[in-house]
Structure 1
Amino acid sequence: MLKTVGQALFSTGLQYPKHNVESKGDDYEVRRYEATNWVSTTLMGMDGDAAMNAGFRRLFKYIQGENERGEKVEMTAPVTCRIEPGAGPACESTFTVSFFIPEQHQADPPKPTSPDIHIENRPEFTAFVRTYGGFSLEEMAREEHLKLVESLRRDGLEFREAPYYRAGYDSPFKLINRRNEVWLLQ
């Protein structure tokens, strides 16, 4: 437990999903991610930051042993949040918060005991990725998302505008050199 708590607090020694950088634009990368399993939870609402916090807490319980095996699972990075915007400005969005499942559990992840959590198999995908620092709240992520959209349009690239992803690599206790990303899929 101390190792997992330390990883969550200090963001050190974390596993990441495997990917290759295929190319780089002026202010983004094009990455190809391998097919992997993630543990996920979906929430509805209008507040992305509240959804991220609630989703993180649900998933943290899973990695602390609230699964069919009672097995602790190491913390990984990034924590992603797939955002499917609602149809209008006053409509609820769908937020799917996910943790990458570590390599040692990829072939056979522990099954969740909570009905609010599921194992998600993400097939191989290509993402356009914009990286930025600081403490990323919903408004900042939305601004970075719009900057990424502008960059991809400027460069004449085809992409899906929705859903988009927020990705965070650091514990809330890490104060400097923070890494956040927004992803759009090809």
Structure 2
Amino acid sequence: MKLLLFVIASLSLVGCSVFGQSNVETAPYTLLKADPEQNIEVRIYDEMILVSAEMSGEGRNSAFRKLFRYISGENEGANEISMTAPVFMGQAEQAESNNKGTEIAMTAPVFMETKAGTPKMSFVMPAEFTLQTTPRPTNPDVTVSELKNYKVAAITFSGTLSRRNVAKHTEVLTNWISTNGYAAIGQPVEAGYNGPMTLPMLRRNEVLIEIK
């Protein structure tokens, strides 16, 4: 199953401090297997609602602004829902919500995939939202989709989401998958849980690969 997802290296999942503390809701999953020595888990995400925007023009900044505006009210909602944490972008556009729709809490992580067609950044909606109850975006560049039974092998690591760091851990994960009887059926997906203010050694980053 193709998943056009993306994750933050220079973006902020906030409610984060320099020490990695965060009050942002985390997308739930079922743990199927764990390898603590290599920080690898086999997980299944039963269901996720994603709001996505293509990475074009200004890339990450452009997609992030569109998604931030969506969760801040640029949608066809009616009731205001408080966010679980503030979101810092370090840009003036952060305050440009039209406040006409539903304000939606942000959920960690933010996903990124760079190898499947046009890259997209995706926010995961809070668990209480379904495909039917998720407010429709008013910006045609933002889309809503549902992902079910997403089985992945995931490796967790600290530091930054630099190409070198991601490539290093992707290689470890790929080798683990093949030596443990699984088959990769998707491209590596990066995931970040912390904003740039968090000290690199305390950040939580992941690479996920869909498996069977």
TM range (shorter): 0.7 to 0.9
The 4+ residue runs of structure 1 with deviation greater than 6 A are none
- 1:125 corresponds to 2:150: yes
CA distance in 1, matches of 2:170, 2:62: 22
Q: Give 2:54's aligned residue.
A: 42
Please give the TM-score of this superposition, normalised by the length of structure 1. 0.80
- 1:177 corresponds to 2:202: yes
Q: Identify if the C-alpha distance between structure 1 residues 53 and 147 changes in structure 2 by more than 3 Å, giving closer, same or farther.
A: farther
Q: Identify if the C-alpha distance between structure 1 residues 132 and 54 changes in structure 2 by more than 3 Å, giving closer, same or farther.
A: farther
Q: Give 2:91's aligned residue.
A: none
Moved more, 109-118 or 53-62: 53-62
1:82 alignment partner, one of 108, 113, 127: 113
- 1:8 corresponds to 2:14: yes
- 1:21 corresponds to 2:31: yes
Indicate if the aligned counterparts of 1:14 and 1:76 stay in contact, CA closer than 8 A: yes
Q: The residue matched to 1:104 in structure 2 has which SS?
A: coil
The structure carrying a bigger helix percent of its residues is 1
CA distance in 1, matches of 2:52, 2:111: 9
Indicate if the aligned counterparts of 2:155 and 2:169 stay in contact, CA closer than 8 A: yes
Q: Give 1:135's aligned residue.
A: 160
Could you list the runs of 5+ residues in structure 1 that have no partner in the other structure? 1-5, 86-92
Q: Give 2:120's aligned residue.
A: 96
Please give the TM-score of this superposition, normalised by the length of structure 2. 0.71
CA distance in 2, matches of 1:148, 1:17: 21
Deviation at 1:71, TM superposition (A): 1.5
Letter in 2 for 1:8: V
Q: Identify if the C-alpha distance between structure 1 residues 54 and 44 changes in structure 2 by more than 3 Å, giving closer, same or farther.
A: closer
1:33 alignment partner, one of 45, 58, 62: 45
1:154 alignment partner, one of 164, 179, 185: 179
Could you list the runs of 5+ residues in structure 2 that have no partner in the other structure? 1-11, 78-100
Number of aligned positions between the proteins? 169
Higher relative contact order (CA 8 A, sep 6+): 2
Aligned-pair Cα RMSD in Å: 2.3
Identical pairs, percent = 28
Q: Identify if the C-alpha distance between structure 1 residues 149 and 37 changes in structure 2 by more than 3 Å, giving closer, same or farther.
A: same
Q: The residue matched to 1:183 in structure 2 has which SS?
A: strand
